[in-house]
Amino acid sequence: LYGPPGTGKTFVVRALAHEAGSAFFPVKGAELLDKYVGESERAVRELFSRARAAAPSIIFFDEIDSLAPVRGRSTTTVTDSVVAALLTEMDGITSRGNVAVIGATNRADLIDPALLRAGRFETQIEIGLPDAEARRALIDLSDVPFAADIDKSRLAEVTEGMSMADLAGVLRESALSALRADSAAREVKWEHLIGAIERWHASKAASS
């Protein structure tokens, strides 16, 4: 799975594991990296061994680009060795049990190409930013106490470009703004929402 941060890639995989009734082994890419020779490769082998023992199971590598970058580009040989270990485990996974391996990244271009070949991470699915309909659905599900005059469809339109995580953050920030303005506030008004949206845009511009 690839796409911008905050689009729900991890949530999708967790939901998949739950629906499939599979044991779930989530790993942040960098968690397996160890400066000592051989330790990272051993961690990879042990992970696959535990997943096979618990099959059916799903191994989920979040931020896999940090674990398996293009070989030869790193200043250390650790990641090159990890990529080799991953290739070995994934090539043998068909004959070793009912184990699915899923990776997620914000930068698919940084992953070693060998991992993207047939039988490995051969299927790439983009999890993009939500459209207006999806943003409206999140707004409808929110427990933010909107004022009666809030047009939720308009709110979905003016939050274009936000990930689900961004939008959830803006809604939380608008509620906090309402309370900062009046500790007895019972509803969120347009002024609070617009202020939170403007701060989000400013933060995004500052970080770009």
Report the mean per-residue pLDDT for the chain.
91
Q: Are residues 36 and 111 in the same domain?
A: yes
pTM of this structure: 0.77
Q: What is the DSSP letter of 72?
A: T
Residue 97: pLDDT over 70: no
1 domain-assigned = no
- Confidence at residue 76, expressed as pLDDT on a 0 to 100 scale: 64
Torsion-angle region of 185 (φ positive above 0: left; ψ -120 to 50: alpha; else: beta):
beta
- What CATH code is carried by the domain that includes residue 86? 3.40.50.300
Average pLDDT over residues 110-116: 91
The CATH number that applies at residue 170 is: 1.10.8.60
Per-residue pLDDT at 75 = 62
Mark whether 67 and 139 lie in a shared domain: no
Residue 64 has a pLDDT of: 92
Total count of domains within the chain: 2
106 and 149 belong to one structural domain: no
In a domain, 197, yes or no: yes
122 within some domain: no
What pLDDT is recorded for position 186?
95
Verify that 19 and 112 share a domain, yes or no. yes
pLDDT at 94: 65
Whole-number Å distance between alpha carbons of 183 and 62: 40
Q: Is residue 127 part of a domain?
A: no
pLDDT of residue 140: 95
- Give residue 91's domain range: 9-116
Shared-domain flag, residues 98 and 171: no
Residue 173 to residue 203: CA distance in whole angstroms: 13
- The SS3 assignment for 176 reads helix
- Could you tell me which of 204, 126, 208, 114 has the C-alpha nearest to residue 159? 204
